[in-house]
Amino acid sequence: MNLLADAFAWLSAPEQWSGPNGLQHLLVQQLYYTAIAVAIAAAIAVPAGWAIGHTGRGKEIAVAFAGAARAVPSFGLLVLLVLLFGVLHKPEAATVTFVILAIPSLLAGAYAGFEAIDRRVVDAARAVGMTEAQILWRVEVPLGLPLLVGGFRSAVLQVVATVTIAAYVNLGGLGLPIITGLSLRRYEVVLGGAVLVALLALVLDALLALAQRAAVPHGVRAAQGQHVTGPRRKLGPDPEPAT
């Protein structure tokens, strides 16, 4: 309990929230690397996932790539890319590392959202004369959006937690107090940095959970509610027929 109290005392100290290495500055760096990585990953993975879901081709390749990307150790990849890019390009190396980490969740969310759509809905859209582009943007994208937002949610949480390793190559972020505390054996600082990362992840998860709920089309939400409640049951016996 003393360690936890010391950690919260360190977090609440005004001096920790001022200066170039203040926690507010490190928090902005954490969010910056997360946003940049997820945005670049989305620009790559979402169109590819939509193409796979719309055409039904290439799923095996996407699954194999996603599995391989998930298996790569992030810290080892970061160190390797820093060595390959050079010490003058550490931000680029870190960004590529986090992009590779974010792609599998976004790719899976994009094509899984299309796969979850009832094929009869797509066939009905073709039957009324919609073009493939109209089917994509008016039918598949709106109906597949909740799972895509779920992919964003997973990617953001994975990246925002992993960005802490950027501090090992002097790029800042909320990992800085963690590695500084470890080197100085100030474990209340380590715990305080870890608590801050966890709180940031929880806040982002809650916001994206609301976004995922809001992404469900109104008609689908109404149909789900009707399915849960079921048809109304009449109270009392049926009236007897008149004689």
95 with 37: CB under 8 angstroms?
Answer: yes
130 with 138: CB under 8 angstroms?
Answer: yes
The 10s digit of each residue's pLDDT in 92-146 is 999 999 999 999 999 999 999 999 998 899 999 999 999 989 999 999 999 999 9
228 pLDDT above the threshold of 50: no
Question: In angstroms, rounded to a whole number, what is the distance separating the alpha carbons of residues 225 and 77?
Answer: 46
85 pLDDT above the threshold of 80: yes
Question: In angstroms, rounded to a whole number, what is the distance separating the alpha carbons of residues 154 and 1?
Answer: 32
226 pLDDT above the threshold of 60: no
How high is the pLDDT of residue 70? 82
Q: Could you tell me where the DSSP H helices lie in 72-116? A: 74-85, 90-115
The 10s digit of each residue's pLDDT in 15-48 is 999 888 899 999 999 999 999 999 999 999 999 9
How high is the pLDDT of residue 243? 44
| pLDDT band of 219, cuts 50, 70, 90 | low
Q: Of 168, 166, 161, 155, nearest to 212 (Cα)?
A: 155
Average pLDDT over the chain, rounded to an integer = 88
How high is the pLDDT of residue 217? 84
Q: Which residue has the tokens 């194999």?
A: 64
The 10s digit of each residue's pLDDT in 59-72 is 888 888 888 888 88
DSSP type of residue 206: H
Cα 9–Cα 13–Cα 16 angle in degrees, nearest 5: 120
